[in-house]
């Protein structure tokens, strides 16, 4: 059944490349409706000076299949150790929000 009131979060798999092979984690992302998403993207210029971990903390509320607690310090460590982690996480969040938006 289609829910008119969407859940506040959703889980999506994110593949992060590494020298040891692709690493798969599951991110708990914050859902944004059409207005919130458009406002977030429109105001993205304000985020140009934000760190990767700050952006991820803004769009996510947790993770699974990672050997550490979801917090700013561990997100920063993930971004430091896995070069493409931040881009892959943000892209997955954007794609999922866009797909949800296209489906409505």
Tokens of residue 56, six digits: 């991820």
pLDDT score at 46: 66
Q: Which of 55, 52, 28, 54 is nearest to 41 (CA)?
A: 55
pLDDT score at 103: 45
Tokens of residue 41, six digits: 């993207």
Tokens of residue 80, six digits: 């430091």
| φ, ψ of residue 60 in degrees (nearest 5) | -130, 155
Q: pLDDT tens digit string along 41-78? A: 887 766 678 899 999 999 999 999 999 999 999 999 99
């Amino acid at each position: 059944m289609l829910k008119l009131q969407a859940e506040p979060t959703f889980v999506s798999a994110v593949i992060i490349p590494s020298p040891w092979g692709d690493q798969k984690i599951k991110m708990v992302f914050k859902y944004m409706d059409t207005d919130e998403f458009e406002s977030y993207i429109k105001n993205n210029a304000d985020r140009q000076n934000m760190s990767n971990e700050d952006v991820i903390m803004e769009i996510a509320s947790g993770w699974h299949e990672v050997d550490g607690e979801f917090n700013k310090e561990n997100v920063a460590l993930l971004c430091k150790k896995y070069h493409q982690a931040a881009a892959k996480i943000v892209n997955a969040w954007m794609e999922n929000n866009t797909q949800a938006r296209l489906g409505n």
